């Protein structure tokens, strides 16, 4: 319905806002990357202020570093559709080049650190990463990176789609409710390597059961294991 209505509305009513929006998207596709200043002022400045000073609609940005800006844009958590909307992971709005342009435009008025990190997954040690992950990350993101519920309506997101750079950015900058973790570059490389390993883990116990953890494993044990035991008991106790 909405998909049908939108072009119709555009064609018939052609409000200035919609025309502006669609022409901006068209220019982003066909022409060279628009300037970071243009993108920032068009999409961010309205809520966060011309130079990140914040407005009643959006928080101040001057205390956050390039890593958090890049993380928030590359995971699609910003820009949101309307002020105050929940920031959820979705398709990013900008290409990599556009993102870089926005971050470079913002550098003069935001904090210099943490900067966008360089991650070398190949240099990471998966075993060390596992130890660090279980000690530091698993409490919220679940042992297999599935994410989970925190307090109230707050959830820690799954790590299924996180890129190594996003993992490092999140560790260094602590976006949203996540705390900042003080870890060396080597340790971050290892954690990123382990998170990537978790996408296709070696399930030593057999079937992974979607990696939900003890609940599904317990359910399977009860249903199939105890079911089988009951059947065997019946067979033993039956007399002909």
Partner 1 sequence: MSEQQTPAPSDAPPGEPQQAAQVERERRAELRIAGAFLLTALAATILAVVYWRGGHPQWEGALLAMALAGLGYGFVSFAHHLLPGGEVEQERSPLGGDEEAQEGIVDDIERSAPFGRRKLLTRSLGLGAVALAAAFSFPIRSLGPGPGKQLERTPWRKGIKVVDHNGKAVHADDVPVGALLTVFPEGHTDAADAQTVLVRVEEGQAKPRPGREAWSPEGLLAFSKICTHAGCPVGLYQAETHQLLCPCHQSAFDVLKEAEPVFGPAARALPQLPLEIGPDGLLRASGDFEEPVGPTYWNIGK
State how far the Cα of 150 lies from the Cα of 139, in Å rounded to an integer: 10
Which range touches partner 1 (CB under 8 A), out of 9-17, 71-79, 192-200, 230-238?
A: 230-238
State how far the Cα of 76 lies from the Cα of 89, in Å rounded to an integer: 5
Which range touches partner 1 (CB under 8 A), out of 17-25, 100-108, 149-157, 189-197?
A: 149-157
Does position 26 interact with partner 1 (CB under 8 A)? The reply is no
Smallest gap, in angstroms, from Cβ of residue 108 to partner 1? 21
State how far the Cα of 146 lies from the Cα of 162, in Å rounded to an integer: 12
Nearest Cα neighbor of 87 from 99, 72, 97 is 72
Does position 29 interact with partner 1 (CB under 8 A)? The reply is no
Is 110 in contact with 173 (CB distance < 8 Å)? Answer: no
Residue 155 bridge partners (DSSP): 149
Smallest gap, in angstroms, from Cβ of residue 233 to partner 1? 11
Which range touches partner 1 (CB under 8 A), out of 39-47, 82-90, 146-154, 190-198?
A: 146-154
Helix (H) or strand (E) holding 148: strand 148-149
Does position 112 interact with partner 1 (CB under 8 A)? The reply is no
Binding mask 163-202 for partner 1 (x = CB under 8 A): -----------x-xxxxxxx--------------------
How many residues sit close enough to partner 1 to count as binding (CB under 8 A)?
20
Which is nearer to partner 1, 27 or 177 (by Cβ)? 177
In a 13 Å sphere around the CA of 221, the CA atoms on its Cβ side amount to 6
Does position 4 interact with partner 1 (CB under 8 A)? The reply is no
Does position 240 interact with partner 1 (CB under 8 A)? The reply is yes
Tell whether the torsion through CA atoms of 74, 76, 81 and 83 is positive or negative: negative
Nearest Cα neighbor of 177 from 87, 62, 84 is 87
Is 102 in contact with 48 (CB distance < 8 Å)? Answer: no
Does position 5 interact with partner 1 (CB under 8 A)? The reply is no
- Which residues are at the interface with partner 1 (CB under 8 A)? 63, 135, 139-140, 150-151, 154, 174, 176-182, 235-236, 238-240
């Amino acid at each position: 319905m909405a998909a049908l209505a939108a072009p119709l509305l555009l064609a018939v009513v052609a409000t200035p806002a919609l025309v502006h929006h669609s022409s901006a998207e068209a220019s982003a596709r066909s022409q060279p990357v628009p300037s970071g200043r243009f993108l920032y002022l068009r999409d961010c400045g309205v809520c966060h202020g011309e130079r990140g000073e914040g407005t009643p609609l959006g928080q101040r940005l001057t205390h956050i570093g390039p890593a958090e800006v890049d993380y928030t844009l590359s995971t699609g958590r910003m820009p949101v559709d309307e002020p105050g909307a929940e920031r959820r992971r979705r398709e990013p709005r900008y290409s990599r080049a556009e993102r870089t342009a926005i971050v470079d435009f913002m550098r003069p008025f935001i904090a210099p650190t943490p900067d966008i990190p360089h991650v070398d997954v190949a240099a990471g040690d998966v075993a060390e990463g596992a130890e660090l992950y279980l000690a530091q990350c698993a409490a919220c993101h679940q042992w297999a990176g599935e994410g989970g519920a925190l307090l109230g309506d707050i959830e820690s997101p799954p790590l299924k789609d996180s890129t190594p750079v996003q993992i490092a950015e999140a560790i260094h900058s602590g976006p949203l409710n996540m705390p900042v973790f003080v870890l060396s570059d080597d340790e971050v490389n290892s954690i990123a390597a382990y998170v990537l390993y978790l996408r296709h883990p070696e399930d030593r116990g057999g079937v992974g059961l979607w990696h939900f953890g003890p609940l599904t494993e317990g359910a399977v044990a009860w249903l199939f294991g105890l079911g089988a035991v009951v059947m065997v008991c019946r067979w033993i106790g039956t007399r002909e």
